[in-house]
Amino acid sequence: MMFTVGTVSANLFGVRSSFLTGGPSGDWDGRFGNTLMYLSPTFGTAEERQQYRDLLKNNGDTHIDIYAQARHGNLGAGQIWPERQDFTGHLNQLNADGLKPVLWLIPESKHKDHGQSMEAHFAFQNEMVAKHDAQVAGYVVGLELDETFSVGQVNALVANLKSKTGKPVAVHLAPGVGGFKRDVNYYKGADFIYLQFGDHLTGDMVADTEMAVAMLKEALKIGIPVVANEYALDSTSERAKTLGDLLCENGASGTGNGRHQNLCGHKPPAPKKWYQRYETEMVVAGVALATLYAVSRYDLPLQLNATEDGYRIGMKKKIGEHTFGMSYRNDDTVMATYVFDF
């Protein structure tokens, strides 16, 4: 069955996905243990795919994280060969079912796709944008790229992708802020950080609460919106959802491993322009000066000088050898000026 949809909204603020759906038995790498392999031809039958989509939606998901390539199978669902497949049908179906795709362009290193040349990676990015940009909500450059790429290479991948699409571009690294190298320069140019907290594939299968909150707060200091992407093995578990709620409360722009609440990480209001910040004062000052202008028998043209840091509104008039002026500044300073030319 083929579905058709319009262009997908380019906004990852408030994103909700279930990156990992494996249980405590450790089957996260099984056929239905994660969403990444959804585009594999052997992921499942039409009925199995519908059941899996229902599982994600019942978990409150609005988006789905999926690989665009995984040629050497390392996960239970098989392989993904983009040159042999057309993703259009599956992407349209996901959108029609209320799950907006987020396309991960380079998979984990075990799949071997990372070993291509940079030119090949650029070409693949360009191809995916040309084919599927209207069907995806955003892109993640790759999974744990700090393990196989330098800072300069990741920055170049981000820059190339952003030159081709207006959709959000995110960076995902190994556990920790800045990945295992603790180098935050990997995030340069990215629209979002997809943060992996770690400590979720052993023990109780959920990241330590104090560690996760501290790591999130550290990442937020960078100044790039942070999606809490990977913190639990089973996104449907109560412990995963409770931690997801806590990360939302502490400033995450979205969640990738479950949560209870629907509202999380909405986009912060844009800073006001100078004319919005000083709207009231400008009206008062403008009225006063306009009144002076109206009652004056001279033609006193109003002048406005403004920057992002403030404004000055006033008037100036030269009469013979004399120049008179009056101005009002945003710091409540009223200034009268007089100049005599000789």
pLDDT per residue as tens digits for the range 85-124: 999 999 999 999 999 999 999 999 999 999 999 999 999 9
CB 297 within 8 A of CB 60: no
Q: pLDDT for 205-234, tens place per residue?
A: 899 999 999 999 999 999 999 999 999 989
Supply the pLDDT for residue 59: 95
Sheet-wide strand order for 334-340: 302-307, 310-319, 322-329, 334-340
pLDDT reported for residue 281: 52
**Position 28 pLDDT exceeds 80:** no
Q: Is 258 left (phi over 0), alpha (psi -120 to 50) or beta?
A: left
Q: What is the pLDDT of residue 202?
A: 72
Q: For position 199, what pLDDT does the model report?
A: 79
Q: Are 19 and 256 in contact (CB under 8 A)?
A: yes
Q: Tens digit of pLDDT for each residue in 265-291?
A: 756 555 555 445 555 554 554 545 455
Q: Which residues contact 289 (CB under 8 A, 6 or more apart)?
A: 302, 313, 314, 315, 326, 328
Which residue would you say has higher pLDDT here, 268 or 203?
203
Q: Which residue has the higher pLDDT, 330 or 100?
A: 100
